[in-house]
Structure 1
Amino acid sequence: MTAERPVPDPTEPGDPADRRFPRAVFRRGTEPDARFSLANERTFLAWIRTALALLAAGVALEALDLPVAPHWRLAASILLIVSGIVAPVQAWCGWARAERALRERRPLPAPVLSGPLAVGVLLAGALVLIGIVLR
């Protein structure tokens, strides 16, 4: 028979939430089921992978000699790179909002920037296609 580990009292000085970053997230509510926290973390990491892919695509689009008009290629590259910079910010904010909601036993919040980010990526793709067609 295994004994359940007690959840630490947040008012005690040795609270593990004092050692976890960011404190604004981990000091709230109670510890949620680890499966939900880990799923939230996997979503965060997926956004980070997406950001790296957007940055790589923006750099590659400008570095490679593709049959696209230079001004269209530059515009699409800048749009992809800016999207790649915004994606980690969205990932961090989304992770923190979801983790706070989990800890406070509230419904999960709706995504804030994922719609505009997707529009930016689609716009960059459209710019590349237009550049290829108009060339």
Structure 2
Amino acid sequence: MSSEEQDPDYRFTLANERTFLAWIRTALALIAGGIAVVQFVPEFGIPGTRHGLSIVLTAGGGVLAALAVRRWQRVQAAMRRNEELPATRVPMLLGGGIFVVTLIVLVILVIWPPVGQ
């Protein structure tokens, strides 16, 4: 640790850790959703759509987990240096991504209902 750095108040460190764990839970939920789509959702009217959706959800969960680690590190470093916390676009990207996936799935369900329905 350099002379410019100092240990932040442990409450802030623990708050940063709780935020990190919340992002990890969200990532795990996306990965679990990707697995659930392949295992439990009937095939959509467009072949391969179910697997494509599963890949998007699972990959999104993996990317989010990696971004969560990076965010935790950046916030911890900023607190040690007594700097402003770094800005992030992850919540906006995550929300927008889920919104887009939802719209695509709704369009597919309306236009091409699941096979056998």
Fold match (TM-score > 0.5): yes
Determine the structure 1 residue equivalent to 2:90: 113
Runs (4+) of structure 1 exceeding 4 A deviation are none
Deviation of 1:35 (Å) = 0.7
Separation (CA, whole Å) in 2 of partners of 1:35 and 1:28: 20
- Which has the higher Rg, Structure 1 or Structure 2? 1
User: 1:64-83, aligned counterparts within 5 Å?
Assistant: 64-66=40-42, 68-69=44-45, 70-83=47-60
Determine the structure 2 residue equivalent to 1:44: 20
Q: How many residues align?
A: 111
Separation (CA, whole Å) in 1 of partners of 2:66 and 2:29: 15
Separation (CA, whole Å) in 1 of partners of 2:102 and 2:29: 14
Deviation of 1:28 (Å) = 6.7
Q: 1:47 to 1:108 in 2, by over 3 A?
A: same
Determine the structure 2 residue equivalent to 1:53: 29
User: 1:1-135, aligned counterparts within 5 Å?
Assistant: 29-66=5-42, 68-69=44-45, 70-135=47-112
Q: Which runs of 5+ in 1 are unaligned?
A: 1-9, 12-26
Match for 1:68: what amino acid? F
RMSD value over aligned CA atoms? 2.1
Separation (CA, whole Å) in 1 of partners of 2:104 and 2:51: 10
Report the TM-score when normalising by structure 2: 0.82
Q: Deviations over 1:5-28 (max 9, x none)?
A: xxxxx58xxxxxxxxxxxxxxx97
Identity in percent: 40
Report the TM-score when normalising by structure 1: 0.72
Match for 1:80: what amino acid? L
Bigger relative contact order (CA 8 A; separation at least 6): 2
Deviation of 1:126 (Å) = 2.1
Deviation of 1:71 (Å) = 3.1
